[in-house]
């Protein structure tokens, strides 16, 4: 069955440890899988200065790399999650990124940033409009905003 890479960008877009190699992403697509580019600014080229336009750039890069039928959104939005959850996640990270999840101030001010103009799920209509403005047709917007995920879920489940 196909697999999902739910929230990561391509290393060829921005080379940080969490982003995936082009080879890995192409293998996911060849198997019918879906990749969801993340909107967390630390995984985008423009870092904390990222905007909705930069997130669409990350989506464009992924579409060019693996094709429109294999790209969804993987925003990594985390609203209303208690700090106890992040402390638990941090305890599972070993020593690699402990402050990211254990210290609320570090998480809030350095790690939990989303692009300006695309900061909560309430901004999803703005993403749809930005994709249209970028030249995506209606069918492709539907694929990116959830259609590809629904196909994958139907096939796997």
Query: Tokens 């890069």 belong to which residue?
Result: 61
Mean pLDDT across 138-152: 98
Q: Where are the alpha helices (H) located in 4-137, listed in sequence order?
A: 22-30, 52-66, 83-91, 98-102, 104-106, 124-133
Stated pTM of the model: 0.85
Q: Tell me: the pLDDT tens digits for 10-31?
A: 999 999 888 999 999 999 999 9
Of residues 32 and 40, the one with the higher pLDDT is 32
Structure tokens at 25: 């992403």
The pLDDT of residue 92: 65
Q: Tell me: the pLDDT tens digits for 51-110?
A: 999 999 999 999 999 999 999 999 888 777 777 776 676 666 555 555 555 555 555 554
- Residues 96, 126: Cα–Cα separation, whole Å: 35
């Amino acid at each position: 069955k196909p697999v999902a890479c739910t929230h990561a960008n391509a290393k060829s877009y921005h080379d940080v440890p969490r982003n995936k190699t082009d080879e890995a992403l192409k293998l996911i697509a060849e198997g019918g899988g879906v990749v969801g580019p993340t909107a967390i600014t630390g995984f985008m080229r423009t870092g904390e200065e990222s905007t909705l336009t930069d997130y669409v750039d990350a989506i464009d890069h992924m579409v060019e790399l693996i094709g429109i039928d294999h790209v969804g959104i993987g925003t990594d939005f985390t609203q209303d999650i208690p700090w106890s959850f992040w402390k638990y996640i941090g305890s599972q990270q070993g020593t690699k990124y402990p402050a990211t999840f254990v210290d609320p101030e570090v998480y809030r001010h350095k790690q939990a940033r989303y692009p300006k103009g695309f900061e909560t799920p309430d901004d999803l209509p703005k993403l749809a409009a930005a994709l249209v403005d970028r030249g995506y047709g209606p069918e492709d917007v539907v694929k990116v905003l959830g259609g590809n995920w629904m196909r994958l879920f139907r096939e796997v489940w």
